Chains A and B, each alone.
Chain A
């Protein structure tokens, strides 16, 4: 069965009655099929216009679940989301960016999902809608591991909410792959830095992806950054011990050791890069 509702309400009603796979931009959905054709019921959410676009609410920036990477790149967004924009530009090629959505990226929950570290760094939450209403989960809780989330079968990820407060903080994202375009990250980092009037770091966020089953925040590093002078060189604060939340694997793309060393290098560079402009 194939459903293509126009509203979220219809969609949740369908999911309440039917165990259906959700199809959004299809950029993870179709490759996962391999050579099989689609089996079972499909709920195509791509026609639900209320889930598209980015709006500002009182305490949050609300990114509709169906917002594509291209829309994120094109949208005027606060500086703290520069990292997300940079990530968006690195997702596949333009074809993928034109179709792939943020909800798909988060629900697919690949350890290499480029959208996760920038949002994790901003304490983003996801909104899950069902006929029972909506619930909010911290992104850090929502993704529980490699391709695992707390989404219930009857829920649709309707939006991502980014708490306001850090809008003017500088942010950046660095991704490392074995070729220039169209590459799954070996490691990637997102960093957000805010300095006080005296030029000292007052808020710091650092998240690393592709180096554990799910992307991780480096809380200790964030803590050690507070109070440091915001200038190039700040990257040297990042030390191996800060990487303890990471547990990388060795695979065809890189060894575990390499991932750790690359993550550290990327962190240092991202911090230096942000410190100059925060």
Chain B
């Protein structure tokens, strides 16, 4: 390339370099980011983009053998260089094959969006050092963030890459459940071929830019939009609220739906959409959006819960008095009386902020109109809910909307709500052209939901012997400008705020309160993690005042399945919180002794502590139906088609549901072909949330599998006990009355193309809650307890978590590797919540101000799986996705208190907050 080019920076020039050993010469702008050139010009979408700012490392490639962020490299800078992307690692590095297999074997790829970056970084390391230490692995991979795994399995996978154990044989018929089966969708995640939201789009797709409110609250007026379009060649159209053909309103809970696709006259939060500009991608990218014809009138905004509740506060939604979206209530016994009768009463107030999901994949998708149908291909956790809302927005029937879920690069709750979908669907519908939209990191953080900030007041009383007598709990949640999952948080928290303990007198009142801030929605645990932070810390205070060991106090009060919960439910079999605590007991006692002796001896500024916290969490919707339907069919070629509609967001439903169905049908799992949650292909398996997929969809898969088995046997005119063998174009059955062989090719096919098919539907049995919140809100609860060990630096206020032990009752571990993956990933998010994570609107819509744990922050996490089968779940299984995050933060906070006597009631425990608390504590007189 010439050293100087007498043209504009945007002008294209040919750049010669090699990618994965092949010479390429794309014609691009020399200042274009290499990541874009790879993905868009060269079609190498294995390199991911999570931030465009160097913060996430998803875009890592090798440049002349060294790992670099391709989003920070100008195309012109690679002239004459050698680039290796994930797609080329297999050919470049002999060890790569083993590294990939090691990632699969260890479950080091969950959603897989960080995996290309991790693999590239690991390859650079392994080429230098084929047997790296843990520290070397951490140093080499530190630049790549992962939000799913908690990093531990990634570290192990890289350290084990040298090994080449025999390939795991596919489990025999009936043996899939319980094995550490490699995830069935794993291969594409480790070779860069997996398709995420941003990875696939037609060449003629238009792009879209959303115009968003720069103020917390503002009214606005558009200038001449037609003139604007006419003035800008390459812009096809500007869309506003007026263009919405159906209802300009959506929301995950239809009864509370209140969010417009585009605000009509007033924006209610900073980041709210008011218009969308559709046009050619390169034109939109070089636009100066400050000249978009809109004028804003900033209006007084409500940004705190206090302000929202003031008697003369402006209503954010006219129908919602006092800005209260909804209240929740569970009351049992007589709290006030029981508190006066308690030997010891403790109280505390706790506060947490917004927490960002920070999945590494920003929301992305593409929509196209096919006749009178709209197709939306995007990352989502809830295809059927998306379908119904898009249908309402476009004013068409739901069956005219097809949602094609892509692989999801992390969701954790926020991809339950619509993000890019309404915009691209509307634009594609109106323009009859494919339209795509990829959120930037900034836009993702600015406009998608967060964990609810909470303000909690709590009192708890116990008898002298340490029996919990009463809990009085009140929580306000800042639900932001729109309802999203606010009602679910307000309903779920009062059911759970007792923790997994026997509390005879109980009052829990919650409110979800609107403010002019970003909508808070679903985030792993629907408010229960915030409640547990209060409750588990307060129970420690109670145990301390009673001079009872903190773990013993919990064991003494643990639910046992025979006494009623705070909603009056008798849980019965599978109530194993005590077993979780008991499992940690020896480690707890040893750790306590170790900390005490260290703190006695030590003279410097470091103190050690250990903390414990328990957890329970109901699987599925709270007292509301949430059915899943699985279809499974026998194809004429003798293979099994499984319509696996439970979107796999990394947690592993593709694998788990298949394991369950394979064992129910009692055939080997390698006979299965998976179909996705595409709404045109698979029945509704509900949303991937509320820790329901293994339990609810798993049970549906079990039912479908057993029904198909019955149908197969009927076709063979026999019954169980029998052995079914699927052959090529036939199946055979062997049992006591002989051998039956059925040829499939001649048989008639059903509407879906199957010789035989079965559907299984399961909706967990629950009962409605009465006005005091009494009833059976969930059919099954998961239980768990975490123990955290920390070292606190008194002078700096820093905390290092040195170990986490996690005991979880999962009913049955369908796939122990995937269960551990959920536990480790949940614990990592809990650690972030305790120590570093808080989103402050307007300050830091990026991943260098919003900090999530890196590979260096996560300690060894030891999982103890307790398998106390639930009578209802498939093979006894319960959920684990949300359960895993709940006890970590309180365990860490309790460990900090154990180390230095300081209680952190305002999260996160950042160094400055903790140091201030230490100084205040030194000045407080104590008995």
Closest chain-B Cβ to A107's Cβ sits at a distance in Å of: 16
Q: Which residues between 61 and 90 of chain B lie within 8 Å of chain A, taking CB atoms? A: 63, 66-69, 71-74, 76-77, 79
> For residue B121, which residues in chain A have a CB less than 8 angstroms away from its CB?
94-95
B836 pairs with A94, CB closer than 8 A:
no
Q: Which of B382-390, B452-460, B793-801 contacts A (4 or more CB under 8 A)?
A: B793-801
A31 pairs with B798, CB closer than 8 A:
no
* Partner among B7, B66, B797 whose Cβ is within 8 Å of the Cβ of A1: B7
* Partner among A26, A39, A183, A257 whose Cβ is within 8 Å of the Cβ of B9: A39
A94 pairs with B143, CB closer than 8 A:
yes
Interface size class of B (residues with CB under 8 A): 35 or more
A46 on the interface (CB 8 Å rule)?
A: yes
A27 pairs with B911, CB closer than 8 A:
no
Which chain A residue has the least Cβ–Cβ distance from B793? A265
> For residue A265, which residues in chain B have a CB less than 8 angstroms away from its CB?
605, 795-796
* Partner among B33, B76, B286, B796 whose Cβ is within 8 Å of the Cβ of A262: B796
* Partner among B29, B54, B55, B63 whose Cβ is within 8 Å of the Cβ of A37: B29
> For residue A136, which residues in chain B have a CB less than 8 angstroms away from its CB?
none
Closest chain-A Cβ to B365's Cβ sits at a distance in Å of: 18
A92 pairs with B911, CB closer than 8 A:
no
Which chain A residue has the least Cβ–Cβ distance from B604? A269
Closest chain-A Cβ to B22's Cβ sits at a distance in Å of: 23
A181 pairs with B142, CB closer than 8 A:
yes
A26 pairs with B143, CB closer than 8 A:
no
A150 on the interface (CB 8 Å rule)?
A: no
Q: Which residues between 1 and 56 of chain B lie within 8 Å of chain A, taking CB atoms? A: 1, 3-10, 13, 29-33, 52-55
Most buried by B among A5, A34, A176, A178: A178
B851 pairs with A183, CB closer than 8 A:
yes
A23 on the interface (CB 8 Å rule)?
A: yes
Given contacts A26-B73, A42-B31, A44-B74, contact A70 B836 (CB under 8 A): no
Closest chain-A Cβ to B650's Cβ sits at a distance in Å of: 22
B853 pairs with A95, CB closer than 8 A:
no
| Interchain CA distance A5-B1 in the complex, whole Å | 11
A197 on the interface (CB 8 Å rule)?
A: no
* Partner among A2, A23, A99 whose Cβ is within 8 Å of the Cβ of B68: A99
A44 pairs with B5, CB closer than 8 A:
no
A14 pairs with B74, CB closer than 8 A:
no
| Interchain CA distance A6-B121 in the complex, whole Å | 29
Given contacts A31-B53, A95-B69, A258-B915, contact A4 B3 (CB under 8 A): yes
| A-contact 0/1 string along B839-873, CB 8 Å cutoff | 01001100011010111110000000000000000
Given contacts A6-B3, A179-B851, contact A26 B142 (CB under 8 A): no
A254 on the interface (CB 8 Å rule)?
A: yes
B856 pairs with A180, CB closer than 8 A:
yes
B829 on the interface (CB 8 Å rule)?
A: no
| Interchain CA distance A23-B75 in the complex, whole Å | 12
Closest chain-B Cβ to A243's Cβ sits at a distance in Å of: 15
A178 pairs with B68, CB closer than 8 A:
no
B240 on the interface (CB 8 Å rule)?
A: no
> For residue B72, which residues in chain A have a CB less than 8 angstroms away from its CB?
25-27, 29-31, 95-96, 99
| Interchain CA distance A259-B915 in the complex, whole Å | 11
Which chain A residue has the least Cβ–Cβ distance from B36? A37
Which chain B residue has the least Cβ–Cβ distance from A89? B139
A23 pairs with B912, CB closer than 8 A:
no
Given contacts A4-B1, A92-B143, A95-B68, contact A179 B856 (CB under 8 A): yes
> For residue A133, which residues in chain B have a CB less than 8 angstroms away from its CB?
none
| Interchain CA distance A27-B854 in the complex, whole Å | 19
> For residue A2, which residues in chain B have a CB less than 8 angstroms away from its CB?
5, 9, 13, 29-31, 74, 76
| Interchain CA distance A62-B709 in the complex, whole Å | 78
| Interchain CA distance A184-B60 in the complex, whole Å | 20
> For residue A10, which residues in chain B have a CB less than 8 angstroms away from its CB?
3
| Interchain CA distance A31-B69 in the complex, whole Å | 12
B916 on the interface (CB 8 Å rule)?
A: yes
A98 pairs with B67, CB closer than 8 A:
yes
Closest chain-B Cβ to A272's Cβ sits at a distance in Å of: 11
A44 pairs with B76, CB closer than 8 A:
yes
Given contacts A2-B9, A26-B73, contact A176 B796 (CB under 8 A): yes
| Interchain CA distance A171-B145 in the complex, whole Å | 32
B911 pairs with A186, CB closer than 8 A:
yes
B321 on the interface (CB 8 Å rule)?
A: no
Given contacts A4-B1, A41-B9, A94-B142, contact A179 B77 (CB under 8 A): no
Given contacts A93-B57, A258-B915, contact A178 B836 (CB under 8 A): yes
A70 pairs with B66, CB closer than 8 A:
yes
Closest chain-A Cβ to B563's Cβ sits at a distance in Å of: 43
Q: Which residues between 62 and 78 of chain A lie within 8 Å of chain B, taking CB atoms? A: 70
B144 on the interface (CB 8 Å rule)?
A: yes
B911 pairs with A176, CB closer than 8 A:
yes
A40 on the interface (CB 8 Å rule)?
A: yes
A93 pairs with B66, CB closer than 8 A:
no
| B-contact 0/1 string along A137-151, CB 8 Å cutoff | 000000000000000
B440 on the interface (CB 8 Å rule)?
A: yes
Which chain A residue has the least Cβ–Cβ distance from B798? A176
> For residue B848, which residues in chain A have a CB less than 8 angstroms away from its CB?
31, 182, 184
B910 on the interface (CB 8 Å rule)?
A: yes
> For residue B915, which residues in chain A have a CB less than 8 angstroms away from its CB?
258, 261-262
* Partner among B9, B52, B71 whose Cβ is within 8 Å of the Cβ of A42: B9
A255 on the interface (CB 8 Å rule)?
A: yes
B599 on the interface (CB 8 Å rule)?
A: no
| Interchain CA distance A253-B33 in the complex, whole Å | 29
Q: Which residues between 1 and 51 of chain A lie within 8 Å of chain B, taking CB atoms? A: 1-6, 10, 14, 23, 25-27, 29-31, 34-35, 37-42, 44, 46-47
Given contacts A37-B31, A44-B74, A46-B77, contact A252 B840 (CB under 8 A): yes
| Interchain CA distance A186-B880 in the complex, whole Å | 36
Closest chain-B Cβ to A112's Cβ sits at a distance in Å of: 11
> For residue B853, which residues in chain A have a CB less than 8 angstroms away from its CB?
179
Which chain A residue has the least Cβ–Cβ distance from B34? A26
B9 pairs with A95, CB closer than 8 A:
no
* Partner among A47, A186, A258 whose Cβ is within 8 Å of the Cβ of B916: A258
B623 on the interface (CB 8 Å rule)?
A: no
Which chain B residue has the least Cβ–Cβ distance from A6? B3
Q: Which residues between 165 and 179 of chain A lie within 8 Å of chain B, taking CB atoms? A: 176, 178-179
A98 pairs with B68, CB closer than 8 A:
yes
> For residue A94, which residues in chain B have a CB less than 8 angstroms away from its CB?
67, 121, 124, 139-140, 142-143
> For residue B549, which residues in chain A have a CB less than 8 angstroms away from its CB?
none
| A-contact 0/1 string along B786-798, CB 8 Å cutoff | 0000000001111
| 5 A–B contacts, CB within 8 A, in A order | A1-B5, A42-B30, A179-B854, A180-B142, A180-B857
Beyond the given A4-B76, A93-B143, A95-B69, could you list 5 further A-B residue pairs with CB under 8 A, ordered by the A residue number?
Answer: A2-B31, A4-B77, A35-B442, A37-B286, A178-B851
A-B interface, 4 closest residue pairs, ranked by CB to CB distance from nearest: A93-B143, A180-B856, A258-B912, A181-B142
